[in-house]
Amino acid sequence: MNSPAIDARDAEMPRRALPVIDLGPYLRGDPGALEQLSAEWREVCEKLGFLCVINHGISDALIAEMEAATRAFHALDDEEKLKIKVTDHQRGYVPSRATILKHSSYETHTKLDSVECMVVATDYAEDHPEVLAGKQFYSRNRWPEKLPSFQTTVEKYMSTVQSLGLKLLPVWAKSLELPENFFLPYFEEPYSYFRIAKYPKTAFVEHQEFGLGAHADTGFMTFLPPALEQGLQVLDEHSQWFWPVVPEGAIIVNTGLFLSRWTNNRFRATPHRVLPPKNNDRYSFACFINTSLDAVASCLPTCQSTDNPPLYPEQSYWSYFQWYMKNTYTHYGSITAPEDEAAA
Ligand SMILES: O=C(O)CCC(=O)C(=O)O
Ligand SMILES: [Fe+2]
């Protein structure tokens, strides 16, 4: 006999405040602010690895404009969205039930994610050598014809978040006891990647069913204004999932796997996941600010010793990103979800 069905969202789960870091003094250029901020940053990144920032300089108006653009995009007909379906360059529209994290060590995933999203990334110049060569991930963005304002808002939002990310490079460097400008050469041509997502409302959620399954982000740093609908859960250092509580106006920041590997796991790439919403569709837009695609990370000098040798071989962001994408998105053809295919 089947046991009575329990909605996965009703499972007992603590709510916990994320660490809040004030960027105001540093962004204003106050004396001593970089040192103070870097110490706080290190403390969080070595433990939970998930935080939120206040006084970040990204206006409420811009976030509201991006929220409206996200909703307008997802309100387009499927036919319009499918005209710009994602390609092997990892840009374009990804329909619902097209991702599953096969490389996750946090949880076994058997079902495809219900999230659908539009993916946009740094648009390199048409005459960029890698664009001309047709190298994977360098193609131009795809935009919906019927929503011209979408491109304008997305580009404005991405460039604002990218500027904030680049301003924080000295903080990342100092928090790892590196010279202030250490990361600059790796970010000569930052590869910023933007997921503009809709999580469709779902009446009943089974155990192991997700809007987006447990994962750590791919790259260096992620910026995520909290969604208006609940859904995000975070795994702490003691393997306890919790609902993060974020103050009004704060933006979530977390570390990606590429940085975590670069730091020999000193900084944690925190697993998180999204449960589907119950009553209203949920919209979110996570912006990932990464090194140049051709940047090569080899274990940072301050993150290794004879007792703590490098755990990972040196690797370019391009090759790490390619590995991650192939093991997450079904359109690359290398992964499938057997149980789900029958139901789809
Ligand atoms: O929707 C969210 O709150 C989180 C999204 C996320 O984790 C991602 O896109 O990597
Ligand atoms: Fe994520």
91-104 pLDDT per residue, tens: 999 988 877 766 56
pLDDT tens across 66-79, in order? Answer: 999 999 999 999 99
Contact 220, 132 (CB under 8 A): no
Q: Give the sign of the dihedral formed by CA 163, CA 152, CA 123, CA 141.
A: positive
The atom of ligand 1 lying closest to the CA of 284 is 1
* pLDDT tens by residue, 257-268: 999 999 999 999
Cβ neighbours of residue 136 closer than 8 Å, sequence gap 6 or more: 88, 89, 318, 322
- Per DSSP, helices labelled H in 168-243 are 169-175
Range of the structural domain that residue 39 is part of: 19-343
Is residue 32 a part of any domain in this protein? yes
Beta strands in the chain (DSSP E): 15-17, 20-22, 50-54, 92-94, 116-121, 191-199, 212-215, 221-224, 232-235, 241-245, 251-255, 272-274, 282-290, 296-297, 315-316
Residue 11 counted as domain residue:
no
| pTM listed for this prediction | 0.94
Nearest ligand to the CA of 286 is: 1
Say if 30 falls within a structural domain: yes
CATH of the domain at 171: 2.60.120.330
Q: Write down the ipTM of this complex.
A: 0.99
In a domain, 134, yes or no: yes
Q: Would you say residue 36 lies in a domain? A: yes
- The answer to whether residue 38 is domain-embedded is yes
Reference 312, options 259, 257, 262, 255; nearest CA is 262
pLDDT at position 334, please?
65
In a domain, 5, yes or no: no
The residue whose two tokens read 């962001």 is: 317
Taking the centre of ligand 1 as the mean of its atom positions, its distance from the CA of residue 40, in whole angstroms, is 24
Distance 213 CA to ligand 1 centre (A): 10
Q: How far apart are CA 177 and CA 301, in angstroms?
A: 9
Which pLDDT band, with edges at 50, 70 and 90, does 5 fall under? Answer: confident
How many domains does the chain fold into? 1
Q: 15 burial class (0-12, 13-18, 19+ CB within 10 angstroms)? A: exposed
Is 23 within a domain?
yes
Q: Considering only CA atoms, which residue is closest to atom 6 of ligand 1?
A: 286
Residue 99 in contact with ligand 1 by CB distance below 6 A: no
Q: What is the mean pLDDT of the chain?
A: 92
Instruction: State the angle between helix axes of 60-74 and 148-167 in degrees (0 to 180), rounded to the nearest 10.
Output: 140
Mean pLDDT of 75-89: 94
- DSSP for 30-48 reads -TTHHHHHHHHHHHHHTTT
Contact 209 CB / ligand 1 (< 6 Å): no
